[in-house]
Structure 1
């Protein structure tokens, strides 16, 4: 699976479960994990993790890593899942909306949990973390350009995600959530 937009209604429905987004996030942040390791980290049963990983694999979102041993770790196939209901038929559009809402539910839950824990972080992490909202008046072309620039800035450190040896001492997993929404006319 590439970073291409997901348009298959069945694949989109596979992403409509919030727990599957938690699995994708875990594998993207921490690298390959077995169902047992996912279970320990996420507090869900091994059977449930295995079931959801297999559903994600069925539609190409995760794959098993080949190697020795009976239990194979799973890894994400693509670091990005592009979902939009724009231009899709009714069934696919409804599935895209359900997948998007499941993603947002999981993402907002994670943001709330991390913000609640912020006071327990070392002091140097307090100021740079948090949330903020900004309103800018942009054309569609300017918004596309700004979004591309922001993604480029964040992806500057992407090699550290896939290669832990590149991570300097004191590094932490920092999650950026960028939402671009347009006000109705």
Structure 2
């Protein structure tokens, strides 16, 4: 971490099934998202944000800590009873080929990818169901799709550029006093046929 509140600017490559399983749990994924959006937090604050019991939040934070997805931030605590948590990494990535030699691990990787995709679709549905009441956000939001002819290397190069673009927007200074809201951005690219 750069300081107590800023995630390390690294993307962790996941090769352990236990990490994928921990992150794929729907509530743990919500905790990860809350920490990504709001920064370091206590179990009590995360409980209020998610509507879950503090004990449940604490349990799931400990599971994520065991696989080094979150870590305690003792320097933020005002006293010994207060426990703050933050993300260890700025993001995560994995590929199915990392788990190809182990059928159980490959199943876990596929389940984790499916869980992430289902959350993306659910967020998109929620936006589509409510966007008419969002004023200028409705005009600012975007969706795009296109058909390209690419090699695997070209698709990989494009993904690197997209991730770098999003990272630049995430890392820019936000000290201009403008009022901002969390914005969910995702992109996918994969071989398909019309």
TM-score in same-fold range (> 0.5): yes
Where do 1:120-135 residues align within 5 Å? 120-123=133-136, 125-135=137-147
Structure 2 unmatched ranges of 5 or more: 1-7
Q: Specify which of 61, 64, 67 is matched with residue 69 of structure 2.
A: 61
Corresponding residue number in structure 1 for 2:82: 71
Q: Does residue 116 of structure 2 align to residue 103 of structure 1?
A: yes
What secondary structure is seen at the aligned counterpart in 1 of 2:92? coil
Q: Note if contact 1:84-1:97 (Cα within 8 Å) is conserved in structure 2.
A: no
Worse-superposed segment, 103-112 or 39-48: 103-112
Distance 2:98 2:87 in 1: 27
TM-score (norm 2): 0.82
Q: Note if contact 2:12-2:89 (Cα within 8 Å) is conserved in structure 1.
A: no
Corresponding residue number in structure 1 for 2:175: 166
What is the root-mean-square deviation of aligned Cα atoms in Å?
2.1
Residue 167 and residue 176 in structure 1: after superposition, are their counterparts in 2 closer, same or farther (change >3 A)?
Answer: farther
What secondary structure is seen at the aligned counterpart in 2 of 1:177? coil
Distance 2:41 2:59 in 1: 14
Corresponding residue number in structure 1 for 2:39: 31
Superposed CA deviations along residues 125-166 of structure 1, whole A, max 9, x for unmatched, are 212214332221212222122212222222122225xx7x53
Pairs aligned (count): 180
Corresponding residue number in structure 2 for 1:46: 54
Q: Note if contact 1:34-1:72 (Cα within 8 Å) is conserved in structure 2.
A: yes
Shift of 1:167: 5.5
Q: Specify which of 83, 86, 91 is matched with residue 80 of structure 1.
A: 91
Superposed CA deviations along residues 93-144 of structure 1, whole A, max 9, x for unmatched, are 1111122222222232222223323222232x21221433222121222212
What secondary structure is seen at the aligned counterpart in 2 of 1:21? helix
Shift of 1:168: 4.0
TM-score (norm 1): 0.86
Structure 1 unmatched ranges of 5 or more: none
Worse-superposed segment, 49-58 or 6-15: 6-15
The runs of 4+ residues in structure 1 deviating greater than 3 Å are none
Q: Note if contact 1:33-1:74 (Cα within 8 Å) is conserved in structure 2.
A: yes
Q: Which structure's residues are more often strand, by fraction?
A: 2
Q: Note if contact 1:7-1:83 (Cα within 8 Å) is conserved in structure 2.
A: yes
